[in-house]
Amino acid sequence: MKRLARLNERIAGWNKLTQSLNDTLELAAMEDEDFRADLETETEAIEKEVDRREFNAMLSGEFDRGDAIFAIHAGAGGTDSQDWAEMLQRMYLRWMEQHGYETEIIDFTPGEEAGIKSVTVSVSGRYAYGYLRSEKGVHRLVRLSPFDSNNRRHTSFAMVEVLPEVDDDFDIDIDLNDIKIDTFKSGGAGGQNVQKNDTAVRITHLPTGIVASCQNERSQSQNREMAMKVLKARLLEIKEREHAEKLADLRGEYTKAEWGSQIRSYVLHPYQMVKDHRTDHETGNTTAVLDGDLDGFIEAYLRQNVGEKSK
């Protein structure tokens, strides 16, 4: 029923655009100067709608229209990297809020002195995964460290993980003998207890070593359900990666599956610049980017990605 509703919505949108185009062509055929202003208004509206649909056509992947599981993990760099991970959390939560997405923090590990070690967020809304998949990879920060008494320049790294939220009916089979389930007390930011009982759940997939946890919900069963969703999403990513590697072997290509080099650099000293190394899109307005202004980077990546696929 959900899929049917989405398809009906798509068809209705195209039918409405077709009708608007036909009406505008009829108006133009009248060649009446009295309708010129109306004609220009209608033409401009159609152009904007076509541009929007052209951009959305770039989000045609199997999971692009659905929800996402978004995670940030602090990398090498100690306290500086944990602080950088928290800066990224703020940046992405602002972007999500500005675009009307519903967010829920389902797992959170605070840093030892400052920042965060990791955070996992459930993101709900149309095209959540389609847009956010452009952000997957290593993000690098260069700045004068606020944690260095000598005020020296430090480089910090954090990994952004983006997964599609998998429906229960999707073909990802998990053998119960292959998983280990642990429960523990939920803890929030700053170390405060969310629950006194063991409601938080950690699931370990023994064959792969993948760990998924959730501590946000009030009941153990809810946390277990969400942790299973995260586990399924991570197993799906492995399945998709293996498929991509097989295709690469057939083409005579080889892509190493690892952290790799950073996808984007955020330089706050000795100059101000954010640059995406995949698309070369860059801006000197670092404050705006860290406040959630990411649309330029996301669009540049999607346009390049579509171009590479067409080649």
Reduce the secondary structure of 227-241 to three states and give it as a string: HHHHHHHHHHHHHHH
- Is 62 part of a structural domain of the chain? no
Q: Are residues 143 and 226 in the same domain?
A: no
Number of domains in the chain: 3
- Is 61 part of a structural domain of the chain? no
pLDDT in tens, 212-242: 999 887 788 889 989 998 999 999 888 888 7
Q: Are residues 85 and 162 in the same domain?
A: yes
pLDDT in tens, 283-308: 999 999 999 999 999 999 998 987 66
pLDDT in tens, 108-133: 999 989 999 999 999 999 899 999 99
Q: Are residues 152 and 280 in the same domain?
A: yes
- Choose the final residue of a domain: 251, 268, 297: 251
Q: Are residues 225 and 133 in the same domain?
A: no
The CATH number of residue 109's host domain is 3.30.70.1660
Half-sphere exposure at residue 212, Cβ-oriented, CA atoms within 13 angstroms? 22
Kindly calculate the radius of gyration of the chain based on its CA atoms and give it in whole angstroms. Answer: 23
pLDDT in tens, 30-59: 888 888 888 899 999 999 888 878 877 788
- Is 63 part of a structural domain of the chain? no
Question: CB-based contacts of 13: which residues, under 8 Å, 6+ apart?
Answer: 53
Question: CB-based contacts of 167: which residues, under 8 Å, 6+ apart?
Answer: none
Q: Are residues 127 and 207 in the same domain?
A: no
C-beta of residue 55 within 8 angstroms of C-beta of residue 299: yes
Q: Are residues 185 and 37 in the same domain?
A: no
Burial of 294 from C-beta contacts in 10 A (0-12 / 13-18 / 19+): buried
The dihedral over CA atoms of 58, 61, 67, 72, expressed in degrees to the nearest 10, equals -80
C-beta of residue 278 within 8 angstroms of C-beta of residue 155: no
Lowest mean pLDDT of 88-92, 167-171, 207-211, name the range.
167-171
Nearest to 93 by CA among 231, 28, 189: 189
- Residue ranges making up the domain that contains 134: 68-169+257-310
Q: Are residues 158 and 290 in the same domain?
A: yes
